[in-house]
């Protein structure tokens, strides 16, 4: 039996199951429905349909996942940091974060479950302890918890947007200024439901990104992108919105004559977050990947690789 507890730190009111799935990101609604044994809000028994508001205290008792062991796989990971509470990895490009239709194996969650179940006495928390995600084709730093308590501690920081997340992107063209800020709404593209697009005020969800130019050369720009909100495809949509699609983006970009075989040039370079039991934030850096180094070398921006995105 797994137990999850925490305090609502989002505006309300909203249904308890919506908060857990859509805001806290601890479990999906289907997982909640399948595994919930008992739910309490402010110490009283509650249904998943109960409305919660800021500062309400919730407690969930969940049945263990019967197929948890079947999901565990022995997959090598590039570990940047690990202690008794958390593990920080440099996710490879092409690795899916969570199992889903068409990707039931080989995911980061499968790898984490395999690693944690091999450790004596370790019981992996829900969703393999993952509290944020990276797209399949985005590489870089991602943190996961080893216990339910650590998972809630980390997740609370992502909900409060107190973490610092910086990405590197090689984009086509050049933005209108050396620094900038995009504060828009994002919603499904009405012309293509598989894509997202900047939407009119009052629709979609708020998406906030800041950019900083690190180098320019020959029709390409290396950007440091600070992500304040974690909307699906946010950085890819925002780069396209300023007229600089990310090189190698098959959905929002355009074919590039010089780099026709480029894969998505987006990398989660830096994460700053407070770890359980500590008072000050730690800073984790994922090395600049080889695919970036090669492109930057060919366009004459390789001198900025070592310090790219830091500071």
Catalytic positions: 135
Q: What is the dihedral of CA 201, 202, 206, 208, to 10 degrees?
A: 20
Pairwise CA distance, residues 38 & 263, whole Å: 45
**DSSP strand pairing (164-172 vs 220-227):** antiparallel
Pairwise CA distance, residues 147 & 128, whole Å: 9
Strand partners, 180: 211
Asked if residue 217 lies in contact with residue 160, where contact means CB atoms within 8 angstroms, the answer is no
- Least Cα distance to 172 among 249, 235, 231, 269 occurs for 249
| H helices, E strands: number in the chain | 7, 16
């Amino acid at each position: 039996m797994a137990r999850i507890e925490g305090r609502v730190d989002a505006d309300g009111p909203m249904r308890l199951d919506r908060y857990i799935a859509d805001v806290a990101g601890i479990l999906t609604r289907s997982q909640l429905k399948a595994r919930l044994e008992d739910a309490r809000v402010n110490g009283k028994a509650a249904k998943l349909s109960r409305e919660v508001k800021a500062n309400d205290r919730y407690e969930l008792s969940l049945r263990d996942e019967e197929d948890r062991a079947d999901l565990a796989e022995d997959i090598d990971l590039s570990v940047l940091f690990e202690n008794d509470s958390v593990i920080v990895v440099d996710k490879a490009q092409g690795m899916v974060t969570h199992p889903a239709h068409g990707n039931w194996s080989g995911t980061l969650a499968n790898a984490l479950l395999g690693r944690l179940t091999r450790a004596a006495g370790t019981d992996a928390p829900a969703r393999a302890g993952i509290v944020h995600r990276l797209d399949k084709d985005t590489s870089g730093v991602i943190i996961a918890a080893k216990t339910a308590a650590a998972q809630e501690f980390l997740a609370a920081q992502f909900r409060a947007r107190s973490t610092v997340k910086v990405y590197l992107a090689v984009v086509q063209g050049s933005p209108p200024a050396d620094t900038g800020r995009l504060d828009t709404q994002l919603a499904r593209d009405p012309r293509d439901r598989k894509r997202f697009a900047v939407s009119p005020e009052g629709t979609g969800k708020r998406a906030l990104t800041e950019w900083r130019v690190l180098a320019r050369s020959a029709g390409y720009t290396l950007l440091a992108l600070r992500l304040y909100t974690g909307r699906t495809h946010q950085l890819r949509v925002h780069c396209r919105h300023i007229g600089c699609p990310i090189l190698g983006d098959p959905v929002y970009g355009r074919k590039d004559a010089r780099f026709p075989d480029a894969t998505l040039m987006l990398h989660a370079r830096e994460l700053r977050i407070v770890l359980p039991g500590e008072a000050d934030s730690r800073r984790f850096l994922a090395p600049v990947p080889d695919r970036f180094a090669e492109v930057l070398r060919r366009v004459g921006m390789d001198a900025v690789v070592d310090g790219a995105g830091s500071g």
